[in-house]
């Protein structure tokens, strides 16, 4: 019987070890589930807080883009108006001073031809 007692003690010890391992496994699984649940709740909170900020940022970006488009259209309109005024002023000047206008045009043409001639000569000498 002396030899049975150590064997029984060994079985009891093994059983206790298995029970402890099962309990540790259950405890670890419970902690993991709690941690995952807590992480999930935190992520939901972050998503709920981030959504309004993202919406606001999107709205602001859209407003800035619209302002940029409006600014470009306004500038384009102003340039068109200035070009029309300059064209009308030129036509009126030509009507009022036709001889002077012809002389200015001839002088401008001569100056441009001289400039083109100089540029073409400098390219030929290279």
pLDDT tens column, 62-82: 999 999 999 999 999 999 999
| pLDDT at 103 > cutoff 50 | yes
CA dihedral for 116, 121, 122, 123, sign (positive or negative)? positive
Give pLDDT, residue 104: 93
Length of the chain: 126
Q: Confidence class of residue 5 from pLDDT cuts 50, 70 and 90? A: low
Give pLDDT, residue 8: 61
Tokens of residue 117, six digits: 């001639």
CA dihedral for 104, 109, 112, 118, sign (positive or negative)? negative
Label residue 47 left, alpha or beta by phi (over 0 means left) and psi (-120 to 50 means alpha): alpha
Contacts of 93 (CB under 8 A, 6+ apart): 101
Domain residue ranges of the chain, discontinuous segments joined by +: 4-124
């Amino acid at each position: 019987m002396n030899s049975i007692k150590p064997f029984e003690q060994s079985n009891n010890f093994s059983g206790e070890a298995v029970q402890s391992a099962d309990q540790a496994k259950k405890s670890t699984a419970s902690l993991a589930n709690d941690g995952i649940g807590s992480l999930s709740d935190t992520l939901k909170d972050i998503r709920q807080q981030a959504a309004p900020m993202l919406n606001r940022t999107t709205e602001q970006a859209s407003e800035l883009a619209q302002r940029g488009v409006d600014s470009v259209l306004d500038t384009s309109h102003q340039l068109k108006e200035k070009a029309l005024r300059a064209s009308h002023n030129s036509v009126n000047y030509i009507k009022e001073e036709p001889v002077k206008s012809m002389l200015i045009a001839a002088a401008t043409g001569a100056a441009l031809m001289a400039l083109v001639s100089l540029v073409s000569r400098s390219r030929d000498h290279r």
